[in-house]
Amino acid sequence: MLQGWIQIALTLLIVVVITPFFGRYIVRVFQEQRTILDPILNPVERLLYSLVGVRTKENMTGWQYARAILYSNIVMGLLIVFIIASQGWLPLNPAGVPAPTWDTTLHTAISFITNTNQQHYSGETYLSYASQMWGLGYLMFTSAATGIAVGIAFIRGLTGRPLGNFYVDLIRAITRVLLPISVVGAIALMAAGIPETLADPLVVRTLEDPGISQAIARGPVAHFEIIKELGENGGGFFAINSAHPFENPNGLTNLIQLVAILSIPTSLIYAYGIYTNNIKQAWLVYSIPFAILVALIIVTAIAEYNGNPAVNALLGVDRATNLEGKEVRFGWVQSVLYAVITTATMCGAVNSLHDSFMPNGGFSTLSNLFLQIVFGGQGTGTAYLFAYLLLAVFVTGLMVGRTPEFLGRKIEKREVVLASFLILLVHPIAILIPGAIALAFPDQLAGISNPGFHGLSQVIYEYASAAANNGSGFEGLGDSQPSQIAIASGATPTATALWWNLSTCFSMLAGRYVPIVSLLLLADSMSRKQPVPKTTGTLRTDTGLFTGVTIGVILILGALEFFPVLALGPIAEAFQIAKG
């Protein structure tokens, strides 16, 4: 077990070490300071600005920034629907895969445009290379860049600066951050054993019976894999995602993926410290999600290491590590680390089956999806974290009788209403209402494979994953329509899969765009406030005491509203297992 803890510690240490370097680079990119890539990218960006018609020096208001996001995302979403629906006659379709059902096509397009990448299909059998590369791969860059742009705009507004121009931020996020690292990362992953090919599926004879052949799916995986992790996208080229040996063949690729997942959300917090010229506060804020992350890793790891008490009793041993649903090449250590990190950052990639974890694992992964600030989504997670900070300032100011101020700007009714609406209403509505409907009609809608406490967790996890734009799943739900090949052979689309496709579309859209608009309006409101001078009554926010208060506010506001679900799901399941 000691070796396992050392692996976990070294992985987290690597992330902490690269945070300031990457954070400084991100600031240089979005403050348009000189970088090593300027000679190559400046002409490219000028061409893109000219083609799009962007006025690079024109700052947007909160509403203008939000409208630019919505309009561009609608256009991109329609383009991807067209590509997927037309894949049957488009090139780069060596397996001759027809288009999926209309509801699976719609769900897939919305899932990837919202940076959720929830997959109700098997990538190697449902989608062509063209759909994976031109459609989903394209959205992996643009949706991640949109989140980064929102995070940067929010930091600017919070610090009293203009929000900037969305199109400039989007292009620079792609050309200066995501694309260069993806090129280097794809090369590293290819060198480590991940394929990158446009060749047909490989047909081989089986060892057991040479008369039987098997088709082994392959494809342009390496470049798809790196942006999947770096952009916190999470959608797998293959159905079993990073548990597949072509997506994640060994410990080196697993490490690269984990570091890539954490690199941008952690560095954005450090970037905030540079914008505010207060690195101390940045590290204190950084410690909040880091402490919660470590705590959830410990909670999950202990349970997986000790295994299921009922199974241990049958085996006649005191302890047997829970390896169900895990790849042997990763074991319990890397499976636990991956599961907690991918749900903490809203990435959603998986190298093991979350449904097979002990209840502690279900508690940890669900808690991450409920909180959304344990480094959180690409860019938006950072903004969520600072929204909690604003609420903590307001609550603390009321308790001690001081005027709530943050970074020299008063926190007033508008800011409190926007932050409260963002944190206390949108997320629960997008999860609990459709979840309640599904649970009310388990036979007609839910398609639950595991009734009882675990079945409740399966349903709520699906909507929490959609609303948090994470995309991972507990599985065990009838959420996948048959392929068009199966339909042509006599299979019929199911009402259960139609329900999951359409209801999770609601959760993904509400969980993505309502918070983005609220965050931008909140940032716009803060940017317009006149700074007030510090006095002896000004509440300091760069202290350990205030950091502790913020953690308390996060746990009270963010966790308690979902506690009944946790109590009826993984907590009740844990007690059930303990009783045998």
pLDDT in tens, 46-89: 998 988 888 888 899 999 999 999 999 999 999 999 999 999 99
SS3 content of the chain, % helix, strand, coil (to 5): 65, 5, 30
Q: Is pLDDT of 458 > 80? A: yes
Instruction: Among 251-255, 261-265, 532-536, name the one with the lowest average pLDDT.
Output: 532-536
Amino acid at 177: V
Count CA atoms closer than 13 A to 390's CA, side-chain side.
31
Higher model confidence: residue 86 or residue 318?
Answer: 86
Mean pLDDT of 209-217: 85
How far is it, in rounded angstroms, from Cα 113 to Cα 26?
23
Q: How many CB atoms lie within 10 A of CB 410?
A: 16
pLDDT of residue 25: 97
Tokens of 344: 């903490």
Q: How many CB atoms lie within 10 A of CB 139?
A: 28
Percent of the chain with pLDDT over 90: 68
**pTM score over 0.85:** yes
Q: Is pLDDT of 580 > 70? A: no
Higher model confidence: residue 444 or residue 245?
Answer: 245
pLDDT of residue 450: 79
**Is 183 within 8 Å of 152 (Cβ atoms)?**
no
User: What pLDDT digit, counting tens, does each position of 97-145 carry?
Assistant: 999 999 999 999 999 999 999 999 988 889 999 999 999 999 999 999 9
Distances 244 to 210, 217, 408 between C-alpha atoms, Å: 25, 11, 50
Q: How many CB atoms lie within 10 A of CB 221?
A: 26
pLDDT of residue 412: 86
Higher model confidence: residue 61 or residue 312?
Answer: 61
Strand partners for 214: 204
Q: Is pLDDT of 317 > 90? A: no
Three-state DSSP class for residue 499: helix
Per-residue pLDDT band for 263 (boundaries 50, 70, 90) equals: very high
How far is it, in rounded angstroms, from Cα 363 to Cα 288?
19
Mean pLDDT of 39-46: 91
pLDDT of residue 564: 92
Residue 490 φ then ψ, to 5°: 120, -10
How far is it, in rounded angstroms, from Cα 526 to Cα 425?
21
User: What pLDDT digit, counting tens, does each position of 179-198 carry?
Assistant: 999 999 999 999 999 999 99
Mean pLDDT of 13-28: 97
Higher model confidence: residue 555 or residue 347?
Answer: 347
Mean pLDDT of 487-504: 88
pLDDT of residue 271: 96
How far is it, in rounded angstroms, from Cα 508 to Cα 489?
32
pLDDT of residue 56: 82
Instruction: Among 228-237, 286-295, 303-312, 516-525, name the one with the lowest average pLDDT.
Output: 303-312
Tokens of 488: 């042509």
User: What pLDDT digit, counting tens, does each position of 214-235 carry?
Assistant: 889 999 999 999 999 999 999 9
Mean pLDDT of 259-277: 96
How far is it, in rounded angstroms, from Cα 302 to Cα 299?
6
**Is 497 within 8 Å of 478 (Cβ atoms)?**
yes
Average pLDDT, the chain: 91
Look at the alpha carbons of 270, 10, 558, 148 in this order and tell me if their dihedral is positive or negative.
Answer: positive
